[in-house]
Each structure stands twice: as C-alpha cells, then as structure tokens.
Amino acid sequence: MSEAGMEQKYVKEAFDTNWVVPLGPNVNGFEADLEQFVGQDKKVVALSSGTAAVHLALIACGVKPGDEVAVQSFTFCASSHPITYLGAVPVFVDSEKDTWNMDPDLLEEAIVDRKAKTGKYPKAIVPVALYGMPYNIKRIMEIGEKYDIPVIEDAAEGFGSRFNGQVLGTFGKYGVLSFNGNKMITTSGGGALICPDKEAANTIMWYATQAREAYPYYQHEAIGYNYRMSNVCAGIGRGQMTVVEEHLRHHKHVQKLYEELLAGVDGVTLIKAPSAEYDANYWLCTMCLDPELRVKGQENAYKKVITSAVGGAAGVIHAVDSTTTDCQPNDNVETLRLYLDAAQIETRPIVKPMHKQPVYKNNPAYVNGVSESMFKVGMCLPAGPYVSDDDVRYIVDCIKDAIQ
Ligand SMILES: *Cc1c(COP(=O)(O)O)cnc(C)c1O
C-alpha cells in the first residue's frame, strides 16, 4: 500500500462504521497490536496522551496529595507534571553519564534520605528512556524491590527500545508510551499504559472513562478523567504498527551513519549505547560539543530574543524579554543550532533538567551535575523517517563547515 495507506484505511473504517468516539474496534485492535508488540503477557490501555498515561499510573500506584515520587530530572516535563497534578511532590534524581538516565546510586540515596527527612518512602520511581536510551533497568528494578516501591517506566520516547532483548515499559509495574506527532510512531496525539494484568488494565480504563459505577444513570464514587483514545486516532495507530519495525530499522541506520561520518570530527561526540544490552531505538540522535570548540559567528550567540518556542507549540507560548537564563546551552551549541537552521536543518537543544526549571525551584533534588552539564553541551539531530542518507551527509557536512 502507498504511504499512509494503512492509516487511511483504518480511519475510513472508523467513519464508515460510525465509530467516531473514544472507544471502538480500532481502539481494541490497536491495543491488541501493542500487546503483541510488547509481549510479556502485558495488557495495554490506549489513552489520549502519554501525559495521561503517567497521570493514571501514578493514581494506580496510590499517589496522593503530600506524597513524594522519585523521578528522573533529565526529562521532558510530562514525566513530572502529573505528579504535581495530584498534589504530590516530584523528587528529582540526576542522571548517570553512560545512559543520561536515572542514576541508581543517587536514586537509592534519595530514597534513604527522603525516609530520614519525611518519615516516608517515595510512592513510586519514574525512570525515563531519554531520547530512547534504556535506563539502567537491572539496578533500578532491584532498588524498587528492595524498598518495595513500584517502578513506572516512562518509555514515551523509548517505544521499541529493548533491554536484554525485552521491550521497555514491560519491566516496571506500569509502562508509559506516547504516540504524539513527534514520537516513534504517532496517532496524531495519543498514548498508552502498559499494565501488569487485566484487573489493573480495567482499573486504568475505568479512571480513563470518568470512573462510572454500574447504574443506568451516572453514579460517581471516585474522580475520573476523560483520557480514553479516540477510535479515529487508534485507526492511525493500527496503520503505524504495520511500519514500526521499518521505523526502528531506519532510526538505527541513521544513528550508525552519524556515528561513521562524525567519527573523526574533533570536539564532536555522538552519544551511543554503553553496551549491547542497551538496544536503543535512537528516536533522536544526540551529540555533544566540546566547550572549547569554536563555531563560526559564536561571538553573537544569544544576542537576539527568540520569538517562538522550541517544539513550535502553535504559537501558544509566553513571550520573553530576555535572551538568556541562568542555565542554558553553551554559546557554541546555540550558534551551531542557528547555523544549521539557516541551512534548513532543524536541531534542538537537549531537554533542560527539571531541577533547573523555575517552576520546580523548591523541589527536593539529588544531583551530581551530569544532566546540567549534558544540557549545556548537547544537541539533538534529525532522525525521523524522512531523513535520507543524503540528508545525514548534508547535515554532517554543514556541522564540519560550521566548526572550521
Ligand atoms: C512525550 C513525552 C511524554 C508525554 O507524552 P504526550 O503524548 O506528549 O503527552 C512523557 N514523557 C516523556 C519523556 C516524553 O517525551
């Protein structure tokens, strides 16, 4: 079938069969496809977003106002914001150098210290597969078991990544997936929660559909949410599942090509999996610039106020009147971003750690400096399904031009 053919077939079916609602045959079909893909006898519930999946997983782990949750600081805000939706407190844990993900030693230190300071352990542990790289699952799961704290894997960026051959999101009690427009596969917007069994999945589904009791009228004994995936979006998801292996192959191929082409370039380091156990999907390829590296035009970095948000949230951002903050990418990184942008290449800074975000300035944080220093030197490179080998060559040539 042609490009987007399967997606259109399933979406058309939703209209033809009059299932243009947040349930239906595509939702069931998509969930079955996902269950087969992730394996391990897991149950999967399709939801309206990955953020909703994080939120419901926290509820299912019993997170209540005043509780604390240990969460990776080096992540997109959707890992931690739902903790605050619940009136609970994110306790941020910094990263290890190898994977950029939650440092197990710091995690254990945080758990012990929170207990000493508050008398309570965190209610859940949320590691994140940043840019698709698996976290140190073995040690994080061991720590979760040692202190009897459930692990919620945020695999939103790590769909199809594996650790020791097993799909991410199937190790912890719950696993979060996202199908937002920019993720590994998309339903335009959407997400899913990988659940341990049918009973847990039913509870998640119940919360996702306004928590209704079995009466002929609306009877509510708990607060629910409108978080179920639409049958139209699930149709796109079913189509995407037919190309997921192709997407994974493509991202890994692009990573390999960057590795080859950037191998001899001084001051530029591409980030790679630390060992064969870590089978990353390379959702985005990432590189670091040596702080000493000079980029053409660097003396003008941060001179102009940026008028659009990174990520292009349809113009819905607050305007700023300052060009800098107290924690930002180095001048050479920002200059290279603008240089590549002028050559029609969109790159992004690495996510800014949550413990450096003003909105979380009063939260407990267990830090070792890794995420902050990576944020200052890191950069995300294009890797999506439309990036060709020639594109990668062009991107690397432009990087070389910029640093000469
Ligand atoms: C995208 C993302 C989410 C949330 O997914 P949405 O579908 O956009 O709500 C959660 N965590 C991480 C790390 C993400 O990158």
> Per-residue pLDDT tens for 304-338?
766 666 655 555 677 777 888 989 999 999 999 99
Q: How many Å apart are CA 355 and CA 60, to the nearest integer?
A: 25
Q: How many Å apart are CA 270 and CA 276, to the nearest integer?
A: 17
- Tens of pLDDT, residue by residue over 160-219, are 999 999 999 999 999 999 999 889 999 999 999 999 999 999 999 999 999 999 999 999
Q: Is the CB of residue 185 below 6 angstroms from any atom belonging to ligand 1?
A: no
3-state helix, strand, coil in the chain (%, to 5): 40, 15, 45
Quick one: 297 exposed, middle or buried, by C-beta within 10 A (0-12, 13-18, 19+)?
middle
Could you tell me the two tokens for 227? 């978080």
For the chain, what are the domain ranges? 3-243, 245-402
Distance 143 CA to ligand 1 centre (A): 24
Does the CA dihedral 230-310-313-239 come out positive or negative? negative
Who has greater pLDDT, 387 or 18? 387
With H, G, I as helix, E, B as strand and everything else as coil, classify residue 369: coil
Looking at residue 69, what is its pLDDT?
Answer: 98
Most ligand 1 atoms within 8 A of CB, residue of 128, 130, 157 to mutate: 157
Q: Is the CB of residue 35 below 6 angstroms from any atom belonging to ligand 1?
A: no
Sheet holding 278-279, edge to edge: 166-167, 162-163, 278-279
Region 3-243: CATH code? 3.40.640.10
% residues pLDDT > 70 (the chain): 96
Task: Residue 261: count other Cβ atoms within 10 Å of its Cβ.
Answer: 18
Residue 231: C-alpha distances to residues 2, 31, 73, 188, 266 (Å): 22, 11, 34, 12, 50
Distance 185 CA to ligand 1 centre (A): 12
For atom 6 of ligand 1, which residue has the closest CA? Answer: 50
Q: Is the CB of residue 360 below 6 angstroms from any atom belonging to ligand 1?
A: no
- Tens of pLDDT, residue by residue over 222-255, are 999 999 999 999 999 999 999 999 999 999 999 9
Looking at residue 24, what is its pLDDT?
Answer: 86
For residue 162, what is the enclosing H or E element? strand 162-163
For atom 13 of ligand 1, which residue has the closest CA? Answer: 76
Distance 191 CA to ligand 1 centre (A): 8
**Mean pLDDT in residue range 37-65:** 98
Q: Is the CB of residue 157 below 6 angstroms from any atom belonging to ligand 1?
A: yes
DSSP sequence for 313-348: -TT-S---S-S--SS---HHHHHHHHHHHHTT---E
With H, G, I as helix, E, B as strand and everything else as coil, classify residue 80: coil
DSSP sequence for 197-238: SHHHHHHHHHHHBT---SSSS---SS---B-BPPHHHHHHHH
Region 245-402: CATH code? 3.90.1150.10
Could you tell me the two tokens for 298? 């660097």
3-state secondary structure 236-262: HHHHHHCCHHHHHHHHHHHHHHHHHHH
Distance 182 CA to ligand 1 centre (A): 10
Q: How many Å apart are CA 269 and CA 288, to the nearest integer?
A: 5
Looking at residue 79, what is its pLDDT?
Answer: 98
Q: Is the CB of residue 169 below 6 angstroms from any atom belonging to ligand 1?
A: no
Looking at residue 16, what is its pLDDT?
Answer: 85
Q: Is the CB of residue 229 below 6 angstroms from any atom belonging to ligand 1?
A: no
For atom 5 of ligand 1, which residue has the closest CA? Answer: 50
Which pTM does this prediction carry? 0.94
Q: How many Å apart are CA 279 and CA 275, to the nearest integer?
A: 8
Looking at residue 15, what is its pLDDT?
Answer: 83
- Tens of pLDDT, residue by residue over 122-138, are 999 999 999 999 999 99
Who has greater pLDDT, 342 or 1? 342
Q: Is the CB of residue 24 below 6 angstroms from any atom belonging to ligand 1?
A: no
Distance 290 CA to ligand 1 centre (A): 29
Could you tell me the two tokens for 117? 């300071």
Q: Is the CB of residue 240 below 6 angstroms from any atom belonging to ligand 1?
A: no
Q: How many Å apart are CA 8 and CA 389, to the nearest integer?
A: 28
